[in-house]
């Protein structure tokens, strides 16, 4: 005979299944919106997405759903461990949203959808003024949301950070980024003083997009992406969409004269998708899937992109296919020249195209700006100039226009707090790199293409508990140590000392 708690848990599950249907449909609509939807169709499609998102909000925040969430949280000790995790997550969300009305939610959803469309138009025109009003609206929407929370933190920006990386706040990130910034700037100075020159003349040669598409499919399959549970298409700003348990889709952006751009975009987004395709089935059954923090996710995508994808062993593995597909355009490029070129260190304007070493400074810039925007110290109209000044100070480059400056990233159309995840991801994976190298022939597996072994290690060690633990708990369980930038800086030091003959 079922207890009262079991009955309420089962009732909650029925409601969560219905909510999952809405989320599945919204995932498909959003994927279409950001990939193939015609420009003039987007306003109507955005309105449709806002409508269904609002219906999902009403279901999630109905009186009965709230009663079930509160009851189960009060009786959480009667639940099994995965249901206790679900109860904690739902109660945290309830505390954030209990004072939000459906009208509030619909208004904010429309603000974000309009911001995305305005950002697209502004980027095409390289004109920040076309996006500034929407950005101001996004900032105000964030303030309104935090003000309504029962469980808000004193600092506005900490609330946003906590939404993406629970428990990792600005006081800790200040220390982390200071250590990272100092270490990166020192290493960059030594690299720039190196007399070793890397061949780059072939990097801007035109490669037909159909050939790049064939290479994309090859790379995804090689790394372990399951095409029976996913697909790849194009978009303005590449992303990965976790639409459903058996539907993790990858996007990229092809440039004829930037073949490496697509190559590493695909490896990066494929890393996200491999994480999504290997979440435990039990997590889906208990509705705790997709609770992986952004830093955890970025640790995996950047592990595949950089630690694996830019390694000497990986270039050795893929070089025959690279030479076969691009013989006409890049047939004179040797394996060593390709390896050094994919690891070229050169301060640049575009974050997604940045090398491993300078990339962290792109994140430092965004972190410092986000803090000032959220504190009110940096008004919207001053953002482009502040952006250019920081790029000049930290990287020695200055944007020629807004498209290659402040408009290059899509993330601010949905609010603030995401960007630190990229740097945290680098730190996390540098820490668990030491573990995988101790426990298996990691470099040999890459060189010989034994990615099923790597994926199995990742499944057991990195993926298994990611939905079930906070970032700090997960990192301690995985590595036995708290967050540090030291491992990442040491990894870069070893690798680039060899490449640049330091």
Per DSSP, the residues of 17-53 read HHHHHHHHHHHHHHHHHHHT--GGGHHHHHHHHHHHH
Q: Which of 101, 91, 89 lies closest to 69 in space, CA to CA?
A: 91
CA 100, CA 104: separation in Å to the nearest integer?
6
Sequence-separated (6 or more) residues with CB below 8 Å from residue 312: 339
Instruction: Return the DSSP state at 99.
Output: T
Q: How far is CA 212 from the centre of its chain?
A: 23
Q: What share of the chain is helix, strand, coil (3-state, %, to 5)?
A: 70, 5, 25
269 is catalytic: yes
CA 265, CA 394: separation in Å to the nearest integer?
24
Judged by DSSP in three states, 243 sits in: strand
Instruction: Please identify which residue in the block is written with the tokens 């060593």.
Output: 336
Which of 269, 298, 312, 370 is an active site residue? 269
> Which helix (H) or strand (E) covers residue 360, if one does?
helix 356-375
CA 72, CA 78: separation in Å to the nearest integer?
9
- Judge contact between 134 and 432, C-beta under 8 A: no
State the SS3 of 462-494.
HHCCCCCCCHHHHHHHHHCCCCCCHHHHHHHHH
Other C-beta atoms within 10 Å of 484: how many? 18
CA 118, CA 124: separation in Å to the nearest integer?
10
Other C-beta atoms within 10 Å of 186: how many? 12
Instruction: Please identify which residue in the block is written with the tokens 């200055």.
Output: 398
CA 47, CA 70: separation in Å to the nearest integer?
32
The set of catalytic residues is: 269
């Amino acid at each position: 005979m079922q207890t009262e708690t079991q009955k309420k848990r089962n009732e909650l599950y029925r409601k969560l299944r219905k909510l999952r249907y809405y989320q599945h449909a919204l995932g498909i609509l959003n994927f279409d919106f950001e990939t193939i939807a015609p420009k003039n169709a987007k306003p109507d499609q955005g309105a449709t997405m806002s409508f269904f998102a609002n219906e999902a909000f009403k279901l999630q925040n109905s009186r009965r759903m709230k009663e079930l969430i509160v009851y189960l949280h009060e009786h959480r000790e009667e639940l099994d461990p995965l249901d206790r995790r679900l109860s904690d997550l739902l109660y945290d969300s309830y505390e954030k949203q209990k004072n939000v009305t459906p009208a509030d939610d619909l208004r904010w959803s429309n603000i974000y959808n309009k911001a995305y469309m305005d950002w697209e138009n502004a980027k095409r025109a390289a004109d920040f003024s076309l996006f500034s009003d929407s950005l101001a609206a996004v900032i105000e929407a964030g303030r309104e949301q935090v003000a309504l929370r029962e469980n808000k933190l004193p600092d506005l920006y900490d609330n946003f950070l906590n939404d993406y990386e629970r428990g990792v706040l600005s006081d800790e990130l200040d220390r982390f980024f200071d250590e990272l910034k100092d270490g990166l700037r020192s290493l960059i100075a030594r690299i720039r003083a190196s007399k070793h020159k890397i061949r780059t003349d072939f990097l801007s040669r035109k490669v037909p997009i159909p050939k790049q598409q064939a290479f994309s499919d090859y790379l995804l399959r090689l790394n372990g992406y399951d095409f029976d549970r996913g697909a790849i298409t194009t978009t303005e700003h590449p992303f990965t969409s976790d639409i459903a348990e058996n539907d993790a889709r990858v996007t990229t952006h092809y440039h004829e004269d930037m073949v490496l751009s697509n190559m590493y975009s695909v490896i990066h987004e494929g890393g996200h998708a491999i994480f999504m395709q290997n979440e435990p089935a039990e997590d889906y059954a208990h509705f705790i899937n997709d609770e992986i923090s952004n830093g955890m996710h970025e640790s995996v995508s950047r592990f595949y992109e950089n630690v694996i994808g830019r390694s000497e062993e990986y270039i050795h593995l893929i070089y025959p296919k690279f030479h076969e597909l691009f013989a006409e355009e890049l047939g004179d490029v040797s394996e060593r020249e390709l390896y050094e070129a994919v690891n070229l260190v050169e301060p640049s304007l575009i974050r997604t195209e940045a090398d491993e070493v300078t990339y962290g400074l792109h994140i430092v810039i965004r972190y410092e700006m986000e803090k000032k925007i959220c504190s009110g110290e940096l008004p919207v109209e001053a953002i482009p100039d502040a952006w250019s000044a920081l790029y000049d100070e930290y990287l020695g480059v200055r944007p020629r226009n807004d498209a290659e400056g402040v408009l290059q990233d899509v993330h601010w159309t949905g609010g603030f707090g995401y960007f630190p995840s990229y740097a945290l991801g680098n730190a996390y994976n540098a820490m668990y790199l030491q573990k995988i190298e101790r426990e298996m022939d990691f470099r040999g597996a890459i060189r010989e293409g034994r990615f099923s072994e790597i994926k199995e290690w990742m499944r057991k060690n990195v993926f298994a508990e990611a939905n079930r633990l906070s970032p700090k708990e997960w990192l301690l369980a995985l590595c036995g140590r708290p967050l540090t930038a030291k491992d990442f800086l040491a990894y870069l030091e070893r690798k680039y000392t060899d490449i640049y003959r330091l």
